């Protein structure tokens, strides 16, 4: 993920790179579905085919699904990390939506 973020630069990629580093330091992994989603998001945002808000909302959805799966398997610490990721990305998506909407209104 870190390499993909470096190869597909964007503000979103900078955030992903930082979070990925923290997850690695903490010994946390992400599911294959979340990994795929993040990789697609990095490419889409960098290429301009996906908005940053969409990338955050997609991550929120995959992390929420992962959290439910982790909780159902009794992996509560992993589930809490994924729930936190879902929440932070939901907040990021809302914030980026507001910024993107303001930019459209003022024509930038």
Residue 104 has a pLDDT of 87
Q: Where are the alpha helices (DSSP H) in 11-75?
A: 11-26, 32-47, 52-72
**How far apart are alpha carbons 24 and 57 in whole angstroms?**
22
What pTM was estimated for this model as a whole?
Answer: 0.90
Per-residue pLDDT in tens (0 to 9) along the chain, 108 residues: 999 999 999 999 999 999 999 999 999 999 999 999 999 999 999 999 999 999 999 999 999 999 999 999 999 999 999 999 999 999 999 999 999 999 888 886
């Amino acid at each position: 993920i870190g390499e993909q973020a470096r190869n597909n630069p964007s503000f979103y990629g900078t955030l992903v790179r930082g979070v990925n580093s923290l997850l690695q330091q903490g010994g946390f992994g992400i599911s294959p579905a979340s990994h795929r989603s993040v990789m697609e998001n990095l490419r889409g945002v960098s290429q301009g085919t996906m908005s940053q808000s969409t990338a955050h909302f997609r991550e929120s959805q995959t992390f929420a699904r992962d959290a439910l799966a982790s909780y159902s398997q009794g992996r509560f610490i992993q589930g809490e990390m994924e729930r936190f990721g879902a929440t932070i990305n939901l907040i990021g998506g809302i914030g980026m939506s507001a910024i993107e909407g303001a930019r459209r209104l003022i024509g930038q």
